[in-house]
Amino acid sequence: MRLVLLLLRKSLLGFWRAKAAVAITFLVPIVLIYLFGHVFGLYRKDTGPTGIPIAVVNASPDPAATQLIDALKAEKAFRIRTVTKLADGTTRPLTEADARAGLKNNDYRFAVILPADFLSAERFGLRVKFLSNPRNEIEAQTVNGILQKTIFSNVPQLLGQSLRQSARHLIGEENLTKFNRALANAYADYFNFDREETFRRLDSADFGFGDLKHLPSAKPPPADPNLRRLDTAPATTTTTAAAEKNTNDVFSKIVKIDNEQVAGKQVANPMAARMVGGYAIMFLLMAVSGSASTLFEEKSTGIFHRLLSSPVRPGHILWARFLFGILLGLVQTSVLFLAGHLFFGLEIFRHAVALLAVSLSAAAACSSFGMLIAAIAPSAAAANGLSTLVVISMSAIGGAWFPVSFMPEYIQSISRCTIVYWAVEGFTDVLWAGQSLFEVMPRIGMLLAITAGVMAVALWRFRKGKLFD
């Protein structure tokens, strides 16, 4: 037993002194728990995504449309855009054409169109058009759900408007006013409300009478066992699944939502097209950052001394390693996409040039990241630990695993500084949206800018560091 304990002590000492191992063991899980906690809303009372951009086009003159837009604006999951900025700096309301262009450009991935016949006198109910660019399956499903919830929860009020319009259409304005006046008087008298206020509410199709005050001089209404207020708790709670289904069925008949997928319809395997970018960039980072640690092996074996005593300079070694990383990344992503094509029917040849360009710029960015790790880490073990920590964190917040919009807005801002974010966007642009090389140039530009920035820091650190001592 003593021997076992001695060996155990040795293992503990060895582990504790290997700082990289300690970091991987403790820091990585903590970072991931923190990030996943944000995604699943463990730190908030109100869970769910925040700030998902939604374009809203209001083509309806009806005040009910504005009422619905206000309800959407109040939903924290959404960041509602109703105007577009013009070249002269002024704004104008979004049109459906604007929304379609924005969806195609991935300025936002969802748009709600409230058409001119949002509420129509000819029919009862609401009509809403929902346009989507479901680049991310999880995000699309979530947004759909929240959107339906928001609309349905406002149906009773919106429905009043619809009812009023239908009534006006059927019996005329004069008769409708007479009818409302008579109904308001009867209602006010029975419940002891003010007649004018009751009429005003009824005439504006506001059926929420719960906040009306009883007149002070009057007696409370007589108790009638056959009457109950509809705006308070129901007499019986039928919250069974069947009851909810019936309710939804009714709502879906009252609210007509026309769904239209604006982008990605041509994709043969949507799931694969949406997922492969995230995994590609994650594996790319792992492979390329791992290769950077071989610089330390070359140092420890004395190869650097042999090389540097020849006409080779440190710059030659670093640029060769950087180019190796790019080549490795390019081959790896090519093989990964080819496997996706063979196994899942992923369409890669239609925009092969664009895909190759994104892969190349992503590989360059990953290679520069590997160089930075090698430049700042003091040893191969530290480099491996650091790269594991950063790759996993960057994959998590960059959108490789789950939608960026599920995270708090400050993390969403950070995610835009990561290689993963821009690479995932670039791959999805090509594979999902079918964008051409020209269209995907902004993503490539961002990746190349990151590459240049990271390489500059890495080279500066190499000059200051001791890798070549």
Partner 1 sequence: MLTLTSVTKRYGDTVALDNVSLRIAPGEFFGLLGPNGAGKTTLMSLVAGLRPADAGDIALAGQSLAASAATGRGQLGLVPQTIALYLDLTAEENLRLFGGLQGLRGDELSARVEEAFTAAQLADRRHARVKTFSGGMQRRLNLVAATLHHPKLLLCDEPTVGVDPQSRNAIFEYLQRLNREGTTVIYSTHYMEEAERLCSRIGIIDHGKILALGSLDELLTRLPFEDEIAFPATAATEPLRAPLAAQGELLATNGTLRFRPRAGYPLSAFFALTESLGLSPRLFASQRPTLENLFLHLTGRNLRE
For partner 1, the binding residues (CB under 8 A) are 300-303, 305-312, 469
Q: How many CA atoms lie within 13 A of 203 on its CB side?
A: 18
Query: Among residues 25 and 301, whose Cβ is nearest to partner 1?
Result: 301
- Closest contact distance (angstroms) between CB of 371 and partner 1 is 20
- Residue 310 contacts residue 304 (beta carbons within 8 Å): no
CB of 466 to partner 1, least distance (A): 11
Nearer to partner 1, 219 or 466 (CB): 466
Closest contact distance (angstroms) between CB of 36 and partner 1 is 39
Closest CB to partner 1 among residues 10, 316: 316
Of the candidates 204, 103, 213, 211, which has an alpha carbon nearest to the alpha carbon of residue 157? 204
Considering beta carbons, is residue 228 or 313 the nearer one to partner 1?
A: 313
Contact 368, 458 (CB under 8 A): yes
Our CB check for partner 1 shows the closer of 295 and 391 to be: 295
C-beta separation of 419 from 365 below 8 A: yes
**Complex with partner 1: residue 238 or 301, whichever CB lies closer:** 301
Could you tell me the end-to-end alpha-carbon distance of the chain, in angstroms, rounded to an integer? 45
Task: Measure the CA angle with vertex 372, ends 338 and 378; round to 5°.
Answer: 125
| Residue whose CB is less far from partner 1, 308 or 441 | 308
Helices in 113-236 by DSSP H: which ranges?
137-153, 155-171, 173-191, 195-203
- In what helix (H) or strand (E) does residue 300 lie, and over which residues does it extend? helix 294-300
DSSP 285-299: HHHHHHHHTHHHHHH
Residues 6+ apart with CB under 8 A from 445: none
Q: Shortest approach of partner 1 to residue 455 CB, angstroms?
A: 23
Q: Which is nearer to partner 1, 41 or 378 (CB)?
A: 378
Nearer to partner 1, 213 or 464 (CB): 464
CB of residue 301 to partner 1, shortest distance in Å: 6
**Alpha-carbon gap, residue 143 to 48, rounded angstroms:** 10
Closest approach of partner 1 to the CB of residue 392, in Å: 28
Shortest CB 311 distance to partner 1, Å: 6
List strand residue ranges (DSSP E) for 226-282, in order. Answer: 255-261
Calpha distance 194→267 (Å, rounded): 61
**Residue linked to tokens 């058409």:** 115
Question: What are the residues facing 83 on neighbouring strands?
Answer: 93
- By C-beta, is 80 or 308 nearer to partner 1? 308
Backbone angles phi, psi at 132, to 5 degrees: -140, 155
Q: Is the dihedral of CA 439, 275, 326, 350 positive or negative?
A: negative
Placement of tokens 């002070």 in the chain = 216
Q: C-alpha distances in angstroms, 315 versus 16, 251, 289, 303?
A: 35, 68, 19, 15
Q: How far is the CB of 316 from partner 1 (least distance, A)?
A: 9
Please report how close the Cβ of residue 300 comes to partner 1 at its closest, in angstroms: 8
Q: List the alpha helices (DSSP H) in 347-407.
A: 352-376, 380-398
Nearer of residues 116 and 320 to partner 1, judged by Cβ: 320
Closest approach of Cβ 385 to partner 1, in Å? 24
Q: How far apart are CA 348 and CA 339, in angstroms?
A: 10
What does the block give as tokens for 369? Answer: 């990241």
At residue 135, the 3 state secondary structure works out as: coil
CB of 303 to partner 1, least distance (A): 5
